[in-house]
């Protein structure tokens, strides 16, 4: 079993995926990890939509002006949503759950990449969130934070170079 620091060091954004399907056991672990993510006052405001249909993945890849085209090559994507009325920090809660998805994917040898949804628009000026709501029948009251593209890695990237850590950004006691 890998140590968490190794998973964090090795996790890089993957934008090229193979055609190999994601095993159900791995998807189950990824989703369990997301459900175990911490949330404010343990209100668990998040919801997750697993998208595997190639046409829907293509539509998601076109839901932003730029930075999402690679989603069409993923085997699946998980749309991370949250109930805005349930938590005033739904953005943070959803972001933590999305990070758990990415870390679990890496621990299982899968690649992932975050696609920001909130505050983004498509080429027609429609919000990415509205595009996803229509595409995936997302009910009112749920807000979309991001999409996590997932698949077996179709590219290899070097682990994070720890010599580039900006240690001067760490302050102890006071700034």
4-154: CATH homologous superfamily? Answer: NADH Oxidase (3.40.109.10)
User: Residue 57 pLDDT more than 70?
Assistant: yes
pLDDT for res 1? 63
User: Stretch 3-14: mean pLDDT, rounded?
Assistant: 95
What is the token pair recorded at 122?
Answer: 């498509």
Question: Which residues touch 38 (CB under 8 Å, ≥6 apart)?
Answer: 93, 96
The DSSP secondary structure of 19-79, one letter per residue, reads: SPPPPHHHHHHHHHHHHTS--GGG---EEEEEE--HHHHHHHHTSSSSS-GGGGGSSEEEE
Select from 122, 131, 146 the least CA-distant residue to 13.
146
125, 139, 76: which is closest to 105 by C-alpha? 76
pLDDT at 50 over 80: yes
Domain ranges of the chain: 4-154
* pLDDT for position 2: 76
- Please name the residue that has the structure tokens 């964090």: 8
| pTM for this model (two decimals) | 0.95
**pLDDT tens sequence across 66-123:** 999 999 999 999 999 999 999 999 999 999 999 999 999 999 999 999 999 999 999 9
Cα–Cα distance between 135 and 80 in angstroms, integer? 14
Name every residue whose Cβ is closer than 8 Å to that of residue 175 and which is 6 or more positions away in sequence.
none
The 3-state DSSP class for residue 137 equals: coil
- Give pLDDT tens digits for 160-175: 999 999 999 999 999 9
């Amino acid at each position: 079993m890998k140590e968490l620091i190794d998973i964090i060091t090795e996790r890089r954004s993957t934008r090229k995926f193979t055609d190999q399907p994601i095993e159900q056991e791995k998807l189950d672990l990824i989703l369990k990890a997301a459900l175990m993510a911490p949330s404010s006052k343990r209100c668990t405001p998040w919801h997750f939509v697993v998208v595997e249909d190639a046409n829907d993945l293509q539509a998601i890849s076109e839901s932003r002006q730029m930075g999402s085209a690679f989603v069409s090559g993923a085997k699946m994507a998980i749309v991370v949503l949250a109930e805005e009325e349930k938590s005033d920090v739904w953005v943070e809660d959803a972001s933590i759950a999305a990070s758990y998805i990415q870390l679990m994917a890496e621990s299982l040898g899968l690649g992932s990449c975050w696609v920001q949804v909130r505050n983004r628009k498509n080429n027609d000026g429609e919000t990415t969130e509205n595009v996803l709501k229509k595409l995936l029948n997302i009910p009112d009251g749920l807000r979309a934070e991001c999409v996590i593209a997932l698949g077996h890695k179709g590219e290899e990237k070097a682990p994070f170079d720890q010599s580039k850590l900006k240690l001067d950004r760490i302050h102890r006691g006071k700034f």
